[in-house]
Amino acid sequence: MISLLEIRWHGRAGQGVKTAAYLLAEAAMDTGKYIQAFPEYGAERSGAPIAAFTRIGDEPIRIHYGILTPDVVVVVDESLIGAMDVTAGLKDSGILLVNSSEGPEVYRAKVPTFKGKVATVDATQIALDCIGRPIPNIPIMGALIKVSEIVSLEDLEPRLRHKFSAKFNEQIVEGNVKALKRGYEEVKVL
């Protein structure tokens, strides 16, 4: 991993974007990394666009502002592509990960100036299959750790279990673990 990895998340309120940003950071912290995770809200209502940010570093992180030149952009709601410039500032060596049933070649065509990796995973369908609700944050996080190798599946799963066990019953926890693993296994990269 590079000394500082910056991830910008784009989604809509209610999709678990903030939870994913924090959960990934906490899993990285468990492996000895320094972290930051925070959301950026507009109108605070369900369905409104939201951004969240995660920084993971090998040294203490002394910057405190939104991520302008991310290494990774995660688009949790594909309808935001075209409605806003989700790839603004994305490094040419970076990764664009989109929650979509379509393949990565579709998004390569939609952002032709981006030269890095493009990946897709149908996180919404995985969430519906595994937890019965269209909350795609956990499956897309599984896809993210596969394409970026930020943390391992073995590092993230215990953090997910710990965090979710405090709020949810065992069935929901196990459904989310299954969704995480499916996202990891089903991501497509171009």
pLDDT value at 2 more than 60: no
Q: Please answer whether residues 17 and 39 qualify as being in contact, where contact means their C-beta atoms are separated by less than 8 angstroms.
A: yes
Confidence of residue 1 (pLDDT cuts 50, 70, 90): very low
Measuring CA to CA, which residue among 85, 41, 46, 91 is closest to residue 66? Answer: 41
The alpha carbon of 67 is separated from its chain's Cα centroid by a whole number of angstroms, namely: 14
Terminal-to-terminal C-alpha distance of the chain: 20
The encoded tokens of residue 99 equal 């929650």
- Whole-model pTM: value is 0.95
Q: Residue 43: what pLDDT?
A: 62
Per-residue pLDDT, averaged over 83-108, amounts to 96
pLDDT tens digit sequence for 127-144: 999 999 999 999 999 999
* The pLDDT of residue 45: 66
| Six token digits for residue 170 | 């065992």
The residues, any chain, with a CB within 8 Å of residue 23's CB and separated by 6 or more, are: 141, 156, 159, 160, 163
List the single range of 44-48, 70-74, 144-148, 181-185 with lowest mean pLDDT.
Answer: 44-48
